[in-house]
Amino acid sequence: MKEYLQKLTENKPLLFEEMICASRSMFSEHISETEIGAFLTALKTKGESADEIAGLVKVIREKSVMAQHLPFSVMDNCGTGGDGSQSFNISTTSAFVIAGAGIKIAKHGNRSISSKTGSADVLEHLGVSLNVHPDKMEELLANNGIAFLFAPAVHPTLKRVMKIRHDLKIPTVFNLIGPLTNPLELDSQLLGIYRRDMLLMMAAVLDRLGRRRAIIVNGAGFMDEASLAGENHLVLLENGEMIPFTVHPEEVGLPVYDNDAIKGGTSLENAEILLKVLKGEKGAYRDTVLLNAGLAIFAHGSVETIQEGIKAAKESIDSGAAREKLEYLIRDSQVSGKKVM
């Protein structure tokens, strides 16, 4: 670790294989918390490279309790958080819409970190168990097309590092990598990030991690989701090629709303918003989900345009398919918590 720390303090980037070695050391019991804190701080001060992020993610994923290969294609949709928007659970709601459109989605998430309510908080309130055995995930994905992977349950080795991260009280690389650490081998992905300057870098990371196709998005107002407030900045990754582009909601047949129109609240309030969207209630919440789910369906490659993705998202909601995915997940995750349906 001393060698890698020295290199970072000299403002030199670590190679992919070097970062893998450094990350494995970081999760070793032989490394002190002080060394880990110094390493994360030095990496933050220098600025993370694509190889450094990908190397860390590779090690985190290999230490996961879940198998990484499935006999079918699967995707994820998730944002980094950290945008300060206090929006409702957009990607969580969108995940059921994506699944209702026939795409298998492994929703990776956690409790609240930078917002009032994380994906785990709202799903737990709805009655989804967070204690599903990893062996059950493949069955859920095969039969229902959606499963929730609770990050602390699938990444138990991160507990020590998370404590150090909390004690440092500064943003580190771990503020960026949550959406990247899904332990399953993803074929495609919609990834939201609050930093517009990192769109191309995150596309390079996803390419390094083997994504066939992905969209990385920074929304209007610098949200880590696509927003109806104005122009969204995106990068399409397809078979190694990276294509930057922009999308305004009016270009894809959706209205403009200020980001204040999609604010969320407590886990109860966000659960109620999620249910209203899946039951077909129209308005800013639904239209925001249509944009994000439509982008994910396009990112998957099952449609040719974003407009076709939005159409598929509408059909998923209006047919009841998206809500059925939620009901199945609640029932089959052996729920013990409170339901609000």
Q: What residue type is assigned to position 144 of the chain?
A: N
CB count within 10 Å of CB 174 equals: 20
| 165 labeled binding residue | yes
Residue 23 annotated as lining a ligand binding site: no
Is the CB of residue 175 less than 8 Å from the CB of residue 48? no
- 92 annotated ligand-binding residue: yes
- Is 46 known as a binding-site position? no
Tell me: is residue 316 an annotated ligand-binding position: no
Task: Give me the DSSP letters along 279-323.
Answer: TT--SHHHHHHHHHHHHHHHHHTSSSSHHHHHHHHHHHHHTTHHH
DSSP codes joined into one string, 184-197? S--SEEEEE-S-GG
Neighbouring residues of 160: CB distance < 8 A, sequence distance ≥ 6:
27, 33, 36
Task: Report whether 25 belongs to an annotated binding site.
Answer: no
On whether 112 is known to bind a ligand per the annotation, the reply is: yes
Find out whether 45 is annotated in a ligand binding site.
no
DSSP SS3 for 106: strand
Residue 79 marked as a ligand binder:
yes
267 among annotated binding-site residues: no
188 annotated as a binding-site residue:
no
Task: Count other C-beta atoms under 10 Å from residue 71's C-beta.
Answer: 6
Amino acid symbol at 329: L
Exposure string over 77-107, b if 16+ CB within 10 A, otherwise e: bbbbbbbebebbbbbbbbbbbbbbbebbbbb
With a CB cutoff of 8 Å and minimum separation 6, the contacts of 265 are 88, 116, 117
The CA distance from 271 to 186, in Å, is 27
- Name the nearest CA neighbour of 296 among 70, 73, 76: 76
166 appears as a binding residue in the annotation: no
CA 89 – CA 92 distance, rounded (Å) = 5
Count Cα neighbours of 91 within 13 Å in the Cβ-side half-sphere: 31
Residue 94 labelled as part of a binding site:
no
Binding residues: 79, 82-83, 87, 89-92, 107-115, 119, 165, 224-225
Binding residues for Mg(2+): 91, 224-225
Binding residues for 5-phospho-alpha-D-ribose 1-diphosphate: 79, 82-83, 87, 89-92, 107-115, 119
Binding residues for anthranilate: 79, 110, 165
